[in-house]
Structure 1
Amino acid sequence: MKPKILIVEDQFIEAHSLERTLLKSGYIVPPVARSVQEGLRSIADQHIDLVLLDIILKGDQTGIDLARELNKRNIPFIYLSANSNRKTFEEAKVTEPYGFLVKPFREKDVLVMIDIALYRDKQKKSGILKEPSPKKALTKAEDEIPNSIIGNSWAMREMYEQIRIAARSNIAVLILGESGTGKELVAKEIHALSARNNSPFVVVNCSALPANLIEPELFGHEKGAFTGALTKRIGKFEQANDGTIFLDEIGELPADDQIKFLRVLQEKEIEPVGGKTKKINVRVIAATNRNLEQELANGKFRLDLYYRLNVFPIKTPPLRERKEDIPMLARHFISKYAEEAGNAITDVSEHVLSELLNYEWPGNIREFENFIFRSMLINDGPLITKIPPLLKASATTGRPDKTRIENERTHIQRVLLECGWRVSGKGGAADILGMNASTLNSRIRKLGISRPHKL
């Protein structure tokens, strides 16, 4: 029997459109509630599986008031909103909805969001999302995740489940996490497990796009569209047609340029510079290491774009929160670099493993991978028994009372000092930290790091 979905919406046109969509898809739909009181009567009189809940309703109470009651009764809900007020958004987010549907609604978006919400609620109520016993370690085969993602900790198993859910549809995904936690790998896995896996996967590093080239780079341009446009150019979105585009570091985009993404997400079309509008079929996955909610509060990120991207957020856990994966990761990278390092190393010694486990890894997996490779170069094997001085020096200086940002600043400054403030190239800070130079330069500016003057 299909789930029963209650619509709480006081606008007749939107309510009627939603009702028609749900009925056509076979859902059971009680009479539409147009206020909090009508909604409360409906959930009191019958079993409701899911509520589509408008924030602004008739009467003195809002959808947020009703959401608090739904939480008490363990009834999942999705907000319906055209509201761009940040304060309202912050209040709504505290109630932990299963998502936001932005007006005007597209039928496909509504049905996909409902499917995901019902699936996640079923998991939650069946206990699947509760932390399992540490003794029950799932294998890679059981997780059905390609081997490019390494880890068997609870945090990673939870992330694997989110990847599988996201891969089943074409919804926008927002991957959140610190630098070096493998956000691009997650995006690749979603693409690989999706129905689009035989189509292009295109990566765009938004932090590396010069402001004057954002439009032609992403949307393309016609020959002669501007000075220097000597030939026609196909933009990244068109290159990804029928596939997936991964917009890394989307939080770095200037606010004025963010509006250009809304057309792609809402209308599924692009407009090349100097050309005509084109329809495209692209799945958008975005990622950022920034706190987008803080960026919203500071006016640096558009709320409407956030709504569109944050349909299905996935958080990549930092390495310090899954240290039980460190032995597996160490062996993986040792195997990966065995030929390049030119030695017979197969594992790490017990005392080195102890140091690896005691370090906080502010640079996460990127830093860890680079560190293992450097360690292999100074050992003969079969075990890594010696490690570079960076870990030994920095492992004892990180203070727990410092914020993550302070520790990241200290760590980057230390690496810059070690390599003579050289950012790019072999042996440069970006190479040591395992990130590209443009991303590191962006972090240096963001963290306010400057080279000390010589006396």
Structure 2
Amino acid sequence: MPPILLVEDDFSYQRLLKKFLEKHGFEVEVAATKSDALRWVRERRFELVLLDYWLPDGNGLELLEELFTKNKHLPVVFLSNYTEVRIAVQAIKLGAKDYITKPVNPEELLQVVKEVCQIKSPEQQSSPTFYPGESQGFQETYALVEVVAPTELTVLLMGESGTGKEFFARKIHALSARQAAPFVAVDCGSLSLELAASELFGHVKGAFTGAITDRQGYLEEAQGGTLFLDEIGNLHPDVQAKMLRAIQERVIQKVGSQASIPLDIRIIAATNEALDIRGERNFRLDLYHRLSEFRIDVPPLRKRKEDILPYATYFIERSNRQFHKQVEGLAPETLALFQNYSWPGNLRELKNLVRRAVLMAKGPFLTPDLFPEGFHV
């Protein structure tokens, strides 16, 4: 079974989670500090890191960024108290695959670990199911998807983390003439500055220390299809310049090579915040205009209240299959709570809450007592 690194400074909690995962066949190493975790990652390869936020020599967000500079494909699941859900949302923005609220339910943990450990790299991820919403906000967004999909326009998806921007990107690809070609998703937030150009454009043998063979970049892997650049605002200005040239001239050059490779791809970009085209982060205005030939704003869940019940029902059905349960739906008082909540984590938060509640449910409906105390506000 895949080796896992558990980063948790609470010894009793650490021991409990380690024992549970080892019981199910996983090999688990533990670290109680940032420095211990970084040492483990230097010494061996892990398929998953379970990362708590509170650490004695820093915090989990800091460690997350340092881990991704060493291995941008390293799957990380964030552990946080429900009152810290905004921190967990930030972890997702930085590149974490998922988060689990504490106290951790062991069965939920096992399900998430099994799902995430199947993810090796962005290009190997299976296409997620596209489930339509019922709100006017969703219908207006989807109408724009249908309009732009058959064209070759670049698309910029704007929306908060967890609103489903990748789902819309995949749907644009599926409705386009490129549907039979690759859809390659890249999380720009997890690209290290040193290797971003190599990851995106490829490199030739000997281009830099460690380049022992030629390698295709993500743009070349997407030939004939669609390249989805998530969190595009995280691209370094030097890489932005290379990306602009690739889009304008429809060619790429691998790192260490002068040869030009013709490029036939469609680009869809996404960001969870307005691109800073004049401030300190200095996103190139010319690249922004190239990426935003057609802009789609994906509304947050709090502005799509009509979607809460159908999505909750969908997540209940999925969780029933995963956990072999028979939950029928939400209790009326739970639906009222859902409708009055602000959903800072959007659909991802809704999915996580429902999954946990289904796992813990004893009766046919999800009642308010199945949800964290911090949710009842």
Q: TM-score, normalised by structure 2?
A: 0.64
Query: After the TM superposition, which residues 81-100 of structure 1 pair with which residues of structure 2 at under 5 Å, given as runs?
Result: none
SS, match of residue 211 in structure 1: coil
1:150 — aligned with what? Answer: 132
Of 334, 339, 357, 2:321 maps to 339
State how far apart, in whole Å, the 1-side matches of 2:242 and 2:369 are: 48
State how far apart, in whole Å, the 1-side matches of 2:374 and 2:277 are: 34
1:186 — aligned with what? Answer: 168
Of 333, 336, 353, 1:351 maps to 333
Query: After the TM superposition, which residues 307-346 of structure 1 pair with which residues of structure 2 at under 5 Å, given as runs?
Result: 307-346=289-328
1:268 — aligned with what? Answer: 250
Give the CA deviation at 1:150.
Answer: 2.6
Contiguous gaps of at least 5 residues in structure 1: 1-145, 397-455
Does the CA-based 8 Å contact 2:277-2:285 persist in structure 1? no
2:261 — aligned with what? Answer: 278
Query: Structure 1 residue 207 and structure 2 residue 189: aligned?
Result: yes
Residue deviations 1:359-378 (CA, integer Å, cap 9, x gap): 11000000010110011111
Of 213, 218, 230, 2:212 maps to 230
**Match for 2:260: what amino acid?**
T
Contiguous gaps of at least 5 residues in structure 2: 1-127
1:197 — aligned with what? Answer: 179
**Match for 1:359: what amino acid?**
Y
Does the CA-based 8 Å contact 2:188-2:229 persist in structure 1? yes
State how far apart, in whole Å, the 1-side matches of 2:337 and 2:344 are: 15
State how far apart, in whole Å, the 1-side matches of 2:304 and 2:296 are: 16
State how far apart, in whole Å, the 1-side matches of 2:327 and 2:343 are: 22
Does the CA-based 8 Å contact 2:361-2:370 persist in structure 1? no
Give the CA deviation at 1:168.
Answer: 1.3
State how far apart, in whole Å, the 2-side matches of 1:368 and 1:159 are: 20
**Match for 1:155: what amino acid?**
G
Query: Structure 1 residue 360 and structure 2 residue 342: aligned?
Result: yes
Query: After the TM superposition, which residues 103-114 of structure 1 pair with which residues of structure 2 at under 5 Å, given as runs?
Result: none
SS, match of residue 337 in structure 1: helix
Query: After the TM superposition, which residues 366-377 of structure 1 pair with which residues of structure 2 at under 5 Å, given as runs?
Result: 366-377=348-359
Query: Structure 1 residue 176 and structure 2 residue 158: aligned?
Result: yes
Cα distance 1:271–1:250, how it changes in 2: closer, same or farther (>3 A)? same
Higher relative contact order (CA 8 A, sep 6+): 2
**Match for 2:273: what amino acid?**
R
Give the CA deviation at 1:226.
Answer: 1.3
- Number of residue pairs matched? 249
Give the CA deviation at 1:342.
Answer: 2.1
SS, match of residue 315 in structure 2: helix
Give the CA deviation at 1:340.
Answer: 1.5
Does the CA-based 8 Å contact 2:353-2:371 persist in structure 1? no
Does the CA-based 8 Å contact 1:349-1:383 persist in structure 2? yes
Cα distance 1:370–1:299, how it changes in 2: closer, same or farther (>3 A)? closer
Q: CA RMSD in A?
A: 1.5
**Match for 2:374: what amino acid?**
A
Does the CA-based 8 Å contact 1:241-1:282 persist in structure 2? yes
State how far apart, in whole Å, the 2-side matches of 1:217 and 1:245 are: 13
**Match for 1:347: what amino acid?**
G
Does the CA-based 8 Å contact 1:172-1:284 persist in structure 2? yes
Does the CA-based 8 Å contact 2:185-2:229 persist in structure 1? yes
State how far apart, in whole Å, the 1-side matches of 2:363 and 2:370 are: 15
State how far apart, in whole Å, the 1-side matches of 2:307 and 2:371 are: 23
Greater share of strand: 2
